Chain A
Amino acid sequence: MNAQPAIQETVDAALDVEGLTHSFGEKKALDDVALTIRPGDFTVLLGLNGAGKTTLYSLITRLYNNRSGAIRILGFDVRRQSPQALSKIGVVFQQPTLDLDLTVEQNLHYHAALHGISRSDAQKRLETELDRIGLSERLHDKVRELSGGQRRRVEIARSLLHHPKLLLLDEPTVGLDIGSRQGILDHVRKLCREDKLAVLWATHLIDEIDEGEQVVILDQGRVLARGDVAEVNKQAGTKTIREAFNKLVGDKAETGT
């Protein structure tokens, strides 16, 4: 992670969030959140359930508007330039979003159509993406026949069809066994390295963070620490990211890990 001038960083950022506050009624779900992700960064958004991760994702994907602060994707403001901004994002939601009764191919074609990709182009792209996740031979199978881990991989393939620059994943490994979890992590890390894809990976599982990766610790809507693992440890005065998380978030973390 080479240090770049601050101005350069915001121009180049795949995702730039600043001063983001959002409330549902009285309750503040996000409080002055700021974070930056550069191309090729694998950033882990670490927080317990209810920390505000899903709200943050909803705002970045403009499910609803931010009322304060700014969210920019490759410089495009999500609110004012939403078509340009949204076309750069790939999303894997926490809940499964594939049509179980349709085949893998049909699901992927639907997504490609939403992004205005022609059918023949979509066919090439989906074959490439399925090949990368090793599910080519399942093209014509119904999603219902796939395992949980395979469905997740299809969702990742789908999120890449329109060649986004920023990939958002909200607790993508929930409910998966250790093998599939690791497989998906490895695949997404590889995308980061090879395609220079910027990734925001939300999780409450501390062991999904590797040394040298970017971490944002979110608790009760506030960013408690951000930077690479070493920096976060330095800020918290701890040796491991687990200690840092426990120290910053407190005892609640024990149940969440």
Chain B
Amino acid sequence: MTPMHYYRCFAGIVWREALRFVHQRERFLSALVRPLVWLFIFAAGFRSVLGVSIIPPYETYITYEVYIAPGLMGMIQLFNGMQSSLSMVYDREMGSMRTLLVSPLPRWFLLTCKLLAGVAVSIIQVYAFLFVAWFWDIQPPLEGLLYALPALALSGMMLGALGMFLSSAIKQLENFAGIMNFVIFPMFFASSALYPLWKMKESSTLLYDICWYNPFTHAVELIRFALYGQINWVSAAYVGGTTIVFLSLAIYGYDPGRGLISRKGGK
């Protein structure tokens, strides 16, 4: 097993993910349309209801659309992470996950490659969204678009790793709808994606605490600050730490000796 073997394997997995992405136009379209619907309709409706005061990283008053843009970028990655795990559950049922797992390189490496490939796809989707949003007056500083890249890579890793862990724990496709409801919606709504956390604090301190500990909040804040050229160190550390936890759980879940996969009979 030479380094070259590792490299070819990594390139092969990313290449396949990219090909699948290109071939699944509906998936790309829905990934693009979903946040745009939120931006065009939801944000327009709530614009007058929710006043957003000046909070970091913003230096002036901003419109509600500008506020929720990073949240929607996070949403794209959240859905993509869950969708790639959906495809893993599907893949496993259809068997192509097994083709991956019986190849000779260590399993943690194969899973990490798969994860990175998914992150790359999610980042393409986010930039496509930003491109359209630009014409809707969501115009962060140009260098912010560049600074957002490492933030998106990290948040994508975290959400992808979460999806991967869930896929190792889910037995059948039907259970996945439940996970969508119990993971995606609570994570999205109990976060700073749609409203600043100080507003939440006015309603309930308990909810505020829940939101604060929600890793998705920190993914969104990390992206939000990066988009304006700043680093939110607390969020970066929180997202980094959570990524390690989720990825370890995913690797454990797929471990041939101890993981969940052996308890389920691999189907």
A residues neighboring B (CB under 8 Å): 24-25, 29, 55, 58, 61-65, 79, 82-84, 86-87, 89, 91, 93-99, 101-102, 106, 109-118
Contact partners of A102 in chain B: CB under 8 A? 16, 19-20, 23
Give the A-B pair count, Cβ closer than 8 A. Answer: 107
- A94–B95 CB distance below 8 A: yes
- A65–B103 CB distance below 8 A: no
**Nearest opposing residue in chain A for B265, CB measure:** A24
- B99–A111 CB distance below 8 A: yes
- B102–A86 CB distance below 8 A: yes
Contact partners of B266 in chain A: CB under 8 A? 58, 63-64
- B256–A116 CB distance below 8 A: no
- A62–B9 CB distance below 8 A: no
- B12–A55 CB distance below 8 A: no
Contact partners of A114 in chain B: CB under 8 A? 9, 12-13, 99-100, 103, 105, 110
Cβ of B123 within 8 Å of any chain A Cβ, yes or no, is no
**Nearest opposing residue in chain A for B1, CB measure:** A83
Whether A101 touches B95, Cβ cut-off 8 Å, given contacts A64-B256, A82-B104, A83-B106, is no
Q: Which of B1, B2, B8 contacts A113 (CB 8 A)?
A: B8
B residues neighboring A (CB under 8 Å): 1-2, 4-6, 8-9, 11-13, 15-16, 19-20, 23-24, 93-96, 98-106, 110, 256-257, 259, 261-266
- A109–B12 CB distance below 8 A: yes
**Nearest opposing residue in chain B for A95, CB measure:** B95
- A106–B99 CB distance below 8 A: no
Whether A101 touches B98, Cβ cut-off 8 Å, given contacts A55-B265, A86-B103, A114-B12, is no
Whether A97 touches B19, Cβ cut-off 8 Å, given contacts A64-B261, A91-B102, A115-B103, is no
Taking the closest CB of chain A, its distance from the CB of B253, in whole angstroms, is 12
**Nearest opposing residue in chain B for A27, CB measure:** B265
Taking the closest CB of chain B, its distance from the CB of A111, in whole angstroms, is 7
Contact partners of B6 in chain A: CB under 8 A? 116
Contact partners of B23 in chain A: CB under 8 A? 101-102
Cα(A114)–Cα(B98), bound, Å: 12
Contact partners of A96 in chain B: CB under 8 A? 94-95
- A64–B257 CB distance below 8 A: yes
Whether A93 touches B13, Cβ cut-off 8 Å, given contacts A64-B262, A113-B8, is no
Contact partners of A86 in chain B: CB under 8 A? 102-104
Contact partners of B105 in chain A: CB under 8 A? 83, 114, 116
- B103–A93 CB distance below 8 A: no
Q: Which of B5, B15, B95, B265 contacts A110 (CB 8 A)?
A: B15
Taking the closest CB of chain B, its distance from the CB of A50, in whole angstroms, is 12
25 contacts between A and B (CB under 8 A): A24-B265, A29-B265, A58-B265, A63-B98, A64-B257, A64-B259, A64-B266, A65-B256, A83-B105, A83-B106, A86-B104, A87-B104, A93-B95, A102-B16, A106-B16, A106-B19, A109-B12, A110-B15, A112-B12, A113-B9, A113-B15, A114-B99, A115-B5, A115-B104, A116-B2
